[in-house]
Structure 1
Amino acid sequence: MSAFVPPLTPFENKARIHAHVAFFAYLVGLPLGICIARYLRTFTSAWFWPHAVVNFLLTGPLIFAAFALGYQTTAASGLPHFTDPHQKVGLALLVLYLIQVFLGCFIHLVKFPHFPGGRPPQNYLHAVLGLAIVVLAMWQTHYGLWTEWGFITLNLHPVNMRCRHFWLAIVVHQIVASLYALGLLLLPRQFRQEANARRTKNADVGQKNSPQPLI
């Protein structure tokens, strides 16, 4: 007969929910929003709102919930806050996410024309920061699965190997990176569309400002 395994304690259950919510938010939700922007903008100019809805209205509450659950779990453990790498990186990820949201809103609302290529530098910063958040979240979730869980729960119930296999499938087998890389193949199409849109806009402005014939 197999040995009896007691159920998860309330403390372990909260830590488990924190892990699931954070993993889905950072390694499913955010990459989904990134890929929506990467793919849709090569086919339509109406890509912004689907991207914003996924990364802010859907993923944002999950990120805040994951942070709150992690904070509560640390408090319940009796350990001080933000002393180990997992806690510090969790705080850093939340701050970076807030900066990213602010930057995205700023780019959408404040336009700077006449930059080379028609795209201001903050657009590139927004893209690079989004990718950096996902990469940092990959490290963070690995640390949580392989180190933090055992440290904070004393490993009474070791992490289910299926959770680790799922992380390996997402990160090591490069599912997220591959989807984004395939989207980069569409960049020439995107640049052509943006160049055509700028030429059309400039032609319309020139026609509007040209002297009208006297009749």
Structure 2
Amino acid sequence: MVRTVIFDMDGVIVDTEPVHRYAYYRHFEELGIEVPADEYATFTGRSTKNVYQFLKDKHGLGPEVEELVLAKRDFFNRAFDEQPDLDLLAGVRTLIEDLHQHQMQLILASSASKSTIDRVMRRFALGPYFSHLVSGEDFPRSKPDPAIFEHAASLSEAPKQQCVVIEDSSNGVTAAKAAGIFCIGYSSEHSPLQDLSHADLVVAHFRELTAARIATLEPSVG
């Protein structure tokens, strides 16, 4: 029986991907580099630090990675605060509340920075539902490396065999499976070009998930 649900954030709880895309491309323009759409799609699920290390190596960028991350974060924060219509993805609040009411432990494990996670938690009052908030900026390698999910599972009150991950990206699903955790792939219109075929279960809408259904999954065979 499942007792802990580990959520990704971007593309699963809230659609901040357009805000990230806007911030990245404003910064790419400022840096004078070209990033094709197919290459950008591979960044989904990776930490900003990891993305800029890749871009610095590829394009020979002068600034340090930390400086690049802060510059992009400034674009993101301004855009995030200026978007009054930014909302949670359809059905996810109902699912979170249902899981919480059924005494399931909820853990957030996102590649986003701590500041972005905190912004989302405050704006949508989600903090009380989650026992732990894990940021990808605390790990040297980002998804598809399994470290973030291995750490999240170590924070669970239940064994890893009683945990599931909800992810929307190819990198995230790969990371969850590499960590040995049952993975539910969320096929989101906001996360294009993602291969979720290696997830244990794929859903197109959160109304397909309830606490009762998740509890009866068998992660040990995932």
Task: Give the TM-score normalised by structure 2.
Answer: 0.27
Q: Which has the larger radius of gyration?
A: 1
More strand by percentage: 2
More helix by percentage: 1
The structure whose RCO (Cα within 8 Å, separation 6+) is larger is 2
